[in-house]
């Protein structure tokens, strides 16, 4: 038993991120939001603030992920998809950014430190 064994962190939820890479996939995800909510998480792999926001989001998520689809967008590799998200949702591009759609409608959007796993959980369960 090590000196730090008593300070184990809570079990981290393994996120079933779906990598968002194509326009067709985005359109299908939006269409499928009528079946269950979707989260679009825009992340810049070159930005430490974006990395912190993603890590905080994952560690603060406390509910079952089977009732939501979580999409991860690498902005560096797929900026065109980010532009299309802005066009289709009417939400101006930010990074990092979380957008939640339910029944093909945006029910939440936030960026940077305003991204709240708890707020999204509450909206999805409502």
What CATH architecture is 31-125? Answer: 3-Layer(aba) Sandwich (3.40)
115, pLDDT greater than 70 = yes
Distance CA 123, CA 81 (A): 25
Residue 11 is predicted with a pLDDT of 55
Residue carrying structure tokens 């679009």: 40
Residue 125 is predicted with a pLDDT of 84
| Portion of the chain with pLDDT greater than 90, in percent | 80
Averaged pLDDT of the chain = 90
- Of 19-23, 33-37, 65-69, 71-75, least confident by mean pLDDT is 65-69
Q: How many helices (H) and strands (E) are present in the chain, helices listed first?
A: 4, 5
12, pLDDT greater than 80 = no
Closest CA to 11 of 74, 52, 54, 59: 59
For Cα atoms 18, 107, 85, give the angle at the middle one, nearest 5 degrees: 50
Q: Domain extents for the chain?
A: 31-125
């Amino acid at each position: 038993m090590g000196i730090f064994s008593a300070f184990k962190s809570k079990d981290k939820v393994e996120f079933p991120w779906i990598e968002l890479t194509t326009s067709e996939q985005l359109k299908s995800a939006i269409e499928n939001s009528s079946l269950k909510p979707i989260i679009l998480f825009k992340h810049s792999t070159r930005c430490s603030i974006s990395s912190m926001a993603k890590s905080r989001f994952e560690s603060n998520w406390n509910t079952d992920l089977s009732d939501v689809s979580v999409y991860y967008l690498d902005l560096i590799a797929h900026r065109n998809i980010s532009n299309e998200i802005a066009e289709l949702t009417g939400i101006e591009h930010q990074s990092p950014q979380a957008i939640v759609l339910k029944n093909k409608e945006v029910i939440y959007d936030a960026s940077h430190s305003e991204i709240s796993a708890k707020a999204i959980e509450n909206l999805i369960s409502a």
